[in-house]
Amino acid sequence: MMGPIQLEPNKVAAELSRFGEKLAKGMNVLKNVPDVHYGASDKEAIYKEDKLVVYRFKSAHKVTHKTPLLIAYALVNRPYMVDLQDDRSIVKSLLAAGHDVYLIDWGYPDPSDRYVTLDDYINGYLRRSVKAVSKHTGVDKINLLGICQGGAFSLCYANLYPETLQNLITMVTPVDFQTPDNMLSHWTQGMDVDLFIDTLGNVPADLMNWCYLTLKPYRLLQQKYVGMTDILDNPGEMENFLRMEKWIFDSPDQAGEAFRQFIKDFYQGNKLLKGGLKIGEKAIDLKAIKLPILNIFAEQDHLVPPNASRALKGATSTKDYTELSFKGGHIGIYVSGRAQREVPPAIDQWLRKRG
């Protein structure tokens, strides 16, 4: 009678009346939702340098893994991404599994950090962070978990300083930066990055966030907020929503020089995979990596498409390569219930077999 859309007056009236009621109730819920906080686990600083801090998470559980685990996330994120709240915390799950977990907080770059380079980040901050964890625990080798861009950094690091690592875990890490479905990469190809950085200095976080939102503008700028009305009368869900909202838009500016090289060499040159990448004076060759690798990627990742991560398979010389495919997106892999059930246990089991 009405083709594919079967709207009935009474049902539509009921639907929209419910919508109005939700909005009315929502105000009271919002008033009473407590201020949102994040960071579920206690931690202590064990190393500081410039704006960087290396934290060790305090655990109520006995540490049963002799090799500590250091987490290095992407420069666009914040440390609590892996420890958002009690029931959404990779860190909490790993602590419960007996791991000694450390985390690099890269800090918020300001204009004085405009000239921090990838060399400074990888040969400097990351190397000294690994050293600090090593010294703190009294072991020669640690496990490194690199997330997204932090995973790309970790691959470079593993190539340059393999003697300091026992195992390497990469999570939603781009390796092939030019897969056909990589929208971010596609957009950067025509950019004059030198002009961009020479003009902006540090890249403003707002601009980065805007860019991410425009990957899926209708969903992220509109539908998401229409969807929010569904949970307006649910204090718990609203608290989670607001926490996510705060997290997503809490991004540091990007140090200009590091950004320049990352776009030019990784996105435009695809040198991590194709070769020719240098970090400082040191050449990077993925084939030189022989460490055991666990590569985790998300099947619905719109920032780092699965194929960008899958490219790691066969790119190194490791004989111990494992892939874990997660049914979710780039954000969901840290925060969804499914991720909590699947990802930390998989990391734990993989590490348990390798010491």
Partner 1 sequence: MAKAGSGVFKDWEALHQQWWNAVSEGAGKFVQGDWRDGTKAFGDLFGGKLGDGTDAATERFVSGTKQYLDWVEKFSGQLAHGAQFPKDASGWVKLFQGALGPMGEMKNPLHDLFATMTGDGARGFEQFFSGWPNPADWAKGEVQGLLGLPAFGYNRETQERQQKLTAAWLRYQDAMGAYNRLMLEASKGALGKFESLLAAREEQGRKLETLREVYDLWVDAAEEGYAEVSLSPEFRTAYGNLVNQQMTVRKLVQTEVERFTGQFGMPTRTEVDSTARRMQELRREMRALQERLDALEAATSAPKAAKPTVVKSKSTPSKAPAKKAAARRSR
| Smaller CB separation from partner 1, 129 or 295 | 129
Is residue 108 close enough to count as binding partner 1 by CB under 8 A? no
**Of 42, 58, 87, 223, the one binding partner 1 by CB under 8 A:** 223
Is residue 15 close enough to count as binding partner 1 by CB under 8 A? yes
Structure-token pair, residue 334: 């840290």
**Of 217, 276, 337, 355, the one binding partner 1 by CB under 8 A:** 217
Q: How far apart are CA 350 and CA 345, in angstroms?
A: 8
Q: Which span (90-98, 114-122, 311-319, 330-338) binds partner 1, by CB under 8 A?
A: 114-122
* Shortest Cβ 319–partner 1 spacing (Å): 27
| Smaller CB separation from partner 1, 49 or 87 | 49
Is residue 138 close enough to count as binding partner 1 by CB under 8 A? yes
CB-based contact 168:146 (threshold 8 Å):
yes
**β pairing state of 165-171 and 101-105:** unpaired
**β pairing state of 101-105 and 69-72:** parallel
CB-based contact 155:148 (threshold 8 Å):
no
**Of 48, 58, 216, 352, the one binding partner 1 by CB under 8 A:** 216
| Smaller CB separation from partner 1, 38 or 73 | 38
Structure-token pair, residue 333: 């892999």
| Smaller CB separation from partner 1, 13 or 63 | 13
Is residue 246 close enough to count as binding partner 1 by CB under 8 A? yes
Nearest-CA neighbor of 101 among 45, 134, 59?
A: 59
210-243: string of b/e by CB count within 10 Å (b at 16+)?
eebeeeeeeebeeebeeebeebbbbeeebbbbbb
Positive or negative: CA dihedral 161, 165, 166, 169 = negative
Q: How far apart are CA 220 and CA 215, in angstroms?
A: 9
Residues 140-179: x/- map of binding to partner 1 (CB under 8 A)?
A: x---------------------------------------
**Of 42, 87, 198, 320, the one binding partner 1 by CB under 8 A:** 198
Collect all residues with Cβ–Cβ distance below 8 Å to 114 and sequence separation of at least 6.
Answer: 201, 202, 255, 256, 257
Tell me which of 148, 244, 294, 304 is the catalytic residue. Answer: 148
DSSP annotation string for 161-183: -GGGEEEEEEES--SSTT-TT-H
Is residue 183 close enough to count as binding partner 1 by CB under 8 A? yes
* Shortest Cβ 344–partner 1 spacing (Å): 28
* 148 is annotated as an active-site residue: yes
Site for partner 1 in 53-92 (CB under 8 A): none
| Binding residue count for partner 1, defined by CB under 8 A | 88
Q: Which span (91-99, 186-194, 258-266, 323-331) binds partner 1, by CB under 8 A?
A: 186-194
Is residue 9 close enough to count as binding partner 1 by CB under 8 A? yes
Site for partner 1 in 247-286 (CB under 8 A): 249-250
- Where in the sequence numbering do the catalytic residues fall? 148
